[in-house]
Structures are given as structure tokens and as C-alpha cells.
A and B are shown apart, each in its own frame.
Chain A
Amino acid sequence: MGLFTNKFQDNIIVEKLDKLLSWGRSTSPWFFQFGTACCAIEMMAAAASRHDLKRIGMIPRSSPRQADVMIVAGTVTMKMAIRVKKLYEQMADPKYVVAMGSCATSGGPYWQHGYHVLKGVDLVIPVDVYVPGCPPRPESLIEGLLKLQEQILEERPLTRKMA
């Protein structure tokens, strides 16, 4: 896709192709289960049988090279931050990041005296959707992922961007 991204002029054929591509991308994003702490258990519970994540198209993948969305669930520490960056760079474009829980958003309950805690994962990688909560309920996570799907649906990958 790198050859065709944002290369074409805006006309009716390109617009329809854009819509098709965005629809395909948004309805089956496979997520990279990067669970660190307590929020990982809620992510697992969201993927289990009561609140099912597969019905919105998301399947857990354990390798970053096979995933589209990275759900950062749990506290990220300084020791881990370097590896998070590496994992993010290993994902193939187009990639999205969801920061789940208050620890990944801004350091969580450890923001004040935690010398080893990264105050928000957006200090190392760009984030698309923030899901607050400590831990967020599986229903909140599903709402965050549906918002991400709406965001992906509005993208126009083929159209040339205006200057």
C-alpha cells in the first residue's frame, strides 16, 4: 500500500475505492495483546465469552507483525518503555494504538511518587484512543474500540492530501 497512499486526485472512482478500503480496514482490526498489569485481565475478560471481542472483528494476535491495533493495557515502566517503542516500530502500517486504563493514559495512581513509572504511554508512541478507568470495564473497552473503528472509517487512504 505504500506505493498508492495519498497519491491520487480526488474524483468519484478514488472516493469509492477509499470507502471500500476504509470499510475493510475498520471492520476487522486484529489486535496485539500487549497486557502488562491489571488492565490485561480486563482485556482478557473482554475477549472471553461474556463480552466477546470477536463479534466486532478483533482477534488477538501475539506477534506485532501480524497485528493492526496495539492495545497498551497496564502500567508502562521506564524499563519497558524502550521495548514498547521497539514493538510499535515492528508493527506494519497502517497501525493504531489504544491506551487502555489510566496508567497508560497518564501514569495512573502512580503519577505522584512513582520514579520508575512512565507518565502516559504517549510520551513514547502516538496514541489514537484513550480509554479511562482503573481498570475500565470490558464494556468501556469495547466502546473505545468502536470509536477507533469510526475513526478508521473516516480515513481517506488513497486521496492526495491538500497542502
Chain B
Amino acid sequence: MTENQQKLIDELVNKGLDGDMDAVNAHQDRMVRAKAKSMIMKIQKGILKRPPLKKISPEEVPNGDIVQNQEKKENKQESTSAKVVRKLLEKFPNEIENEEFDSHIQLKPDKWFEIATWLKSEPELFFDSLQCQMGIDVQDDILESRYNLHSMKHNHYVELRIAVSRSNAKIPSVEKIWRVADWFERETYDMLGIEYIGHSDLRRILLPDDWEGWPLRKDYQEQETYHGIIVPKMKEGWE
């Protein structure tokens, strides 16, 4: 196969993976179409790795096409994440769990309180505001708690994630460091059931106190009645 053909197949494969299957189907050459579709299937199954994206110059991009040039954004985000990771490795080795830091940093839950105190007070980083804290039910029995930190002084962002298993979902609370975490953690406890150790008043905030279950988990079943009122939608004639 020539290099040009390989480049063409790579481009079609990237377009197809991003949702634009019409570009793949519209190509005239049957061999190229077949190779592109089989590559897409193998990538989706995890057998192959996705080919690198082609650089597009600004004049080539028609309005509305999915642009693949994310380098500028990644550079800016990477430098903050990379800076945090470099300093973290000096102070708290063995706490980082992932290898590519362009979008987030994965931490272990044990020393989270100390790391958070250090992140707030370190002069070069100075993350003095917790913008968003949320919980998410990743598949395979893992619950994650994600933190978006922002520094008003240096105007940079970083995202941190902590993963725990469902049976032992306990993470240290950072309520005393950022006061906003008080209600955010209560809401994550309410929706997903992650317990925050050290929180002064961990109880349900949005749902009633005697509600059963953790609604945002993927295997949540609604209860049948609540104080005598029917909870799920009634089926006669509504579908």
C-alpha cells in the first residue's frame, strides 16, 4: 500500500470515529472503504490504536466540520497539569496513578487531605477555589470523585480524580480547606453514596432523609412507594 493511500485511510478512519460515517461511505474506491471500516471496527474493539491526527491549516477548514487540531489547547492545559505533577512527585511520591496528564491527574485516596492543603498553600500553584466537585459511577464497580480546581491569582485550572470501589467508598473530606466542599460533598454522598471521612455533618441534602438508595448509580431501582404515594410512572395509557 502506498503512503498516500495509508494517509487517506487514516484520515477516513479518524472522521468515522468522530461520528462522520458518511465520509467513509462516500469514497469511490471499494478497497479503501473496506480497509477503513475494518480498521474502525478493530479500534472500537480495542485491538488497534487510533492513528495520529492530521494537521489541518486554517484555510482548509470549512465551517461546521469537526476540527482535529487540538494542540494549542492541550499545550496550555498540559503545562499546568505537568507543573502540578512535577511538584507533586517531589513532595508526595507514589500518589499518582495515571501516565498521561493532558486532561486530569488520578490520585490515590489515602493522602488526599495533605495534598489538598499543600495545593492551596503552595505559592506557585495557589489553588484557592474549588470550582466543582462531583461524583461519577464509572463501570466495573468503581466510583470516582472529581475535583476541578482553579486559582484566582494565576488563573489556571487543574482536574483531579480519585477512584474508590463500591464496597469501600471512603475518601477524606476537604471541607476544612475549601468551605464550598461542605455542600458539594453532601450532594455527592446523597446521589452516589461516597462517604467522606472527617466531614462534620454528612447527611442527605436534596432527597428526604428516609429515601432509600443512591439515585445516580447506574443500577439504581426506584422504590415503589414513598409514604403511600406511588413513585414510578403509572403505566396505563401514558406510553
Report A's interface with B, CB cutoff 8 A.
78-79, 81-82, 107, 111-112, 115-116, 118-119, 123-124
Contact = CB atoms under 8 A, between A and B. Distances in A.
B227 A82 contact: yes
Nearest to B226: A78
B233 A78 contact: no
Given A111-B238, A115-B215, A78 B230 contact: no
Q: 10 shortest A-B CB distances, which residue pairs? A: A115-B222, A79-B208, A78-B226, A111-B233, A81-B229, A123-B229, A119-B233, A115-B215, A115-B231, A112-B233
Contacts of B138: none
Determine chain A's interface SS by DSSP, over half rule: loop
B229 A79 contact: no
Interface in B185-239: 207-208, 215, 220, 222, 226-227, 229-234, 238
A156 B222 CA distance: 45
Contacts of A116: 207
A115 B229 contact: no
A78 B229 contact: yes
- Range of interface residues on B (Cβ < 8 Å): 10 to 19
Interface of B: 207-208, 215, 220, 222, 226-227, 229-234, 238
Contacts, number: 27
Contacts of B220: 115
A118 B230 CA distance: 8
A112 B231 CA distance: 11
Given A78-B208, A79-B207, A79-B208, A115 B227 contact: no
Contacts of B233: 107, 111-112, 119
A123 B225 CA distance: 12
B208 A115 contact: no
Contacts of B232: 115
Contact of A119 (B207, B208, B227, B234): B234
A78 B211 CA distance: 10
A132 to B, nearest CB: 15
B20 to A, nearest CB: 30
14 contacts: A78-B208, A78-B231, A79-B207, A81-B227, A107-B233, A115-B220, A115-B231, A116-B207, A119-B230, A119-B233, A119-B234, A123-B229, A123-B230, A124-B229
Contacts of A112: 233
A119 B235 CA distance: 12
Contacts of B207: 79, 116
Given A78-B208, A79-B207, 13 more contacts: A78-B226, A78-B229, A81-B227, A81-B229, A82-B227, A107-B233, A111-B233, A111-B238, A112-B233, A115-B215, A119-B230, A119-B234, A123-B229
Nearest to B231: A115
A112 to B, nearest CB: 6
Contacts of A119: 230, 233-234
Nearest to A111: B233
